[in-house]
Amino acid sequence: KSNSEDGTALFEELRYGTYYIKEIKAPKDYELSNKIVKVEINDKGIFVDDTQVEETENTIEFTFENKKIEVPKTGVESKIKLFASAIILSLLGITYIIKRKQNKDK
């Protein structure tokens, strides 16, 4: 069973054996983990990736680490800068022309 809200998964009544757990859906805005966790259950205990883990009430916990997705900039910011630069250059050009014309009239 899984809980999509908090990303937890529950496996009940597992028998002795080796299990592989892989994340199949990442949380929103996060990359899917490519990690595969090996869980082995035998008469000696429970092992996660070959390391024995302490169990509490037949429960073990581990976490998949996910990287936050970097959203690329859309270019809106650079368009605004370009537009502002064009306006400034236009104003400078107009000012230059007006000043030049005023100097000729003197």
User: What tens digit of pLDDT does each residue of 34-85 get?
Assistant: 889 999 999 998 898 988 888 777 777 777 778 888 877 666 677 788 888 8
Are 49 and 11 in a shared domain?
Answer: yes
Residue 59 belongs to a domain: no
Given this model, what pLDDT does residue 1 score? 61
Are 9 and 39 in a shared domain?
Answer: yes
For strands 17-22 and 8-9, give the pairing.
unpaired
Residue 40 belongs to a domain: yes
Mind listing the pLDDT tens digit for each residue in 5-34? 777 788 888 899 999 998 888 888 888 888
Answer whether 0.85 is exceeded by the pTM: no
Domain carrying residue 42: 2-53
Contact yes or no for 15/41 (Cβ under 8 A): yes
Domain count, the chain: 2
Structure tokens at 31: 């990359």
